[in-house]
Amino acid sequence: MWGGRFTSGPAEIMEQINASIDFDQRLYQQDIQASKAHATMLAACGIISDSDNEAIQDGLDKIAQEIAQGHFTFQRALEDIHMNVEARLRELIGEAAGRLHTARSRNDQIATDFRLWVRDSNDGVIGQLREALSALLDKAEQHSAVVMPGFTHLQNAQPVTFGHHMMAYVSMLRRDLSRFEDARVRMNESPLGGAALAGTGFPIDRNQTAELLGFDRPMANSIDAVSDRDHALEFLSNSAILATHLSRLAEEVVIWASDAYSFISLTDAFTTGSSIMPQKRNPDAAELVRGKSGRIIGNLNALLVVMKGLPLSYSKDMQEDKEPVFDTADSINLCLAAMTGIIKDMQPNEERLRAATGKGQITATDLADWLVRELGLPFRDAHHATGSIVHLAESQSCQIWDLSLAEMQKIEPRLNEGVFSVLSVDESASSRRSFGGTAPLRVREAIVAARQELGLS
């Protein structure tokens, strides 16, 4: 490959550290796709003959088939996917194979292959996110009016509906979806034709190769074309944020499925048993989603550290870009598939959820709001009076709705029977009709709006 500049081969350890074929063979489809486009363009521009192009196209198709069928032997001595493919192409078609690399470098070749691979992976995550969103919307619709405690600091705060809680994750994943969609626009530019870093003196048509590969346009600067890994960083960053969201939902699944809460049940499909305790049903799928978020976040940090100190244009350090991206793509797709399955599988325990709202003076805010609305108290005065009523209820080991009117009037004499209309859990949830609120009416409206925006039936 070095063609006369070197008179001896690399040391064994040099070969080992330099070779990337053990992992970049995953790029074979993209490498062959980009090479076919490059050869087509070279022929169209009169740089290679039509007969050479035809031989190259046929040879590349045969190699793609050999790799797909497991009949291709990858050689570490050939370093990477590019040289493994090119060496085999020369075996198949002879001298014409040597013309394929005209007007390109391994620098713009790998930049193109990797960008195509990341784009494909990005599209896969978009599809999986839409499936997860559909599952959340279905679950929210099925349980739009089921009351449960809403928490702050993991303490009972106010009644909400299960559907509203699911819709919070819909909002989070919709933002994730928009990030992957936005990133796709930015990554959809072609590096091919940047060559080593300065472009090429051959009369190539970069617009043609960009179009053949489904890119919107060629990248505007040849140095940036071979130096840029923003598409990989954005994919990792977006995946890290998504993994954080999935991890938060996974954590709630773990808590809710515990005996102490029993808010939901999971079937055998997404739980495991114990090797010693026959009664156990462990939410291991959710725990693994929670755990894998650490790997995904770490992969983002790894590539940021690799890229932060590199001068333009290409440095061999950038070979370290692929493994974290490959690992993240595998992990985030697995996490999305698992979490989508968990969402579909979990069933809320409505009786347990309602019973849990009978603790923590959960409608105290409704009492304070009533004092403001009906008696005209400033909110801070209403808050103080409500706090005193809560203290009275706790001293009697009951909830505020269990107190008599006379007992409450000792704290605020102007209270009347009307106050009891706002103290029930159902009334509390139903009253939160502000846009984005937990009232079942608003939840159902939000579900319809989300389905329309996402194009989900």
* Residue range 31-87, pLDDT digits in tens: 999 999 999 999 999 999 999 999 999 999 999 999 999 999 999 989 899 999 999
Residue 2 is predicted with a pLDDT of 47
Distance CA(312)–CA(76), nearest Å, equals: 28
264-316 pLDDT, tens digit per residue, is: 999 999 988 888 888 888 999 999 999 999 999 999 999 999 999 999 999 99
Residue 456 has pLDDT above 60, yes or no: yes
What mean pLDDT do residues 400-407 have?
A: 96
Residue 360 has pLDDT above 70, yes or no: yes
Q: What is the CA radius of gyration of the chain?
A: 30
Residue 13 is predicted with a pLDDT of 80
Residue 26 has pLDDT above 70, yes or no: yes
Residue 136 has pLDDT above 70, yes or no: yes
Q: Annotated catalytic, 153?
A: yes
Please, are residues 135 and 225 in contact by the beta-carbon 8 Å criterion?
no
Please, are residues 85 and 292 in contact by the beta-carbon 8 Å criterion?
no
What mean pLDDT do residues 147-151 have?
A: 97
For the chain, what is the mean pLDDT?
Answer: 95
* Other CB atoms within 10 A of residue 399 CB: 20
- The CA-atom distances, in angstroms, between 350 and each of 143, 347, 380, 432 are 9, 9, 35, 20
**If you write DSSP's letter for every residue of 74-133 in order, what string do you get?**
--GGG-SHHHHHHHHHHHHHGGGGGGTTTT--HHHHHHHHHHHHHHHHHHHHHHHHHHHH
Distance CA(283)–CA(287), nearest Å, equals: 6
pLDDT interval class at 6 (50, 70, 90): low
Of the candidates 153, 395, 397, 457, the residue annotated as catalytic is 153
Which residues pair with residue 265 across a beta bridge?
347
Of the candidates 171, 178, 274, 388, the residue annotated as catalytic is 274
What are the structure tokens assigned to 93, written together? 């078609």
What mean pLDDT do residues 335-342 have?
A: 97
Residue 23 is predicted with a pLDDT of 84
Residue 20 is predicted with a pLDDT of 83
Q: Annotated catalytic, 384?
A: no
What mean pLDDT do residues 249-264 have?
A: 96
Residue 1 has pLDDT above 70, yes or no: no
What mean pLDDT do residues 320-335 have?
A: 97
What mean pLDDT do residues 96-100 have?
A: 96
185-240 pLDDT, tens digit per residue, is: 999 999 999 999 999 999 999 999 999 999 999 999 999 999 999 999 999 999 99
pLDDT interval class at 7 (50, 70, 90): low
What mean pLDDT do residues 384-412 have?
A: 96
Please, are residues 433 and 130 in contact by the beta-carbon 8 Å criterion?
no
Residue 161 has pLDDT above 80, yes or no: yes
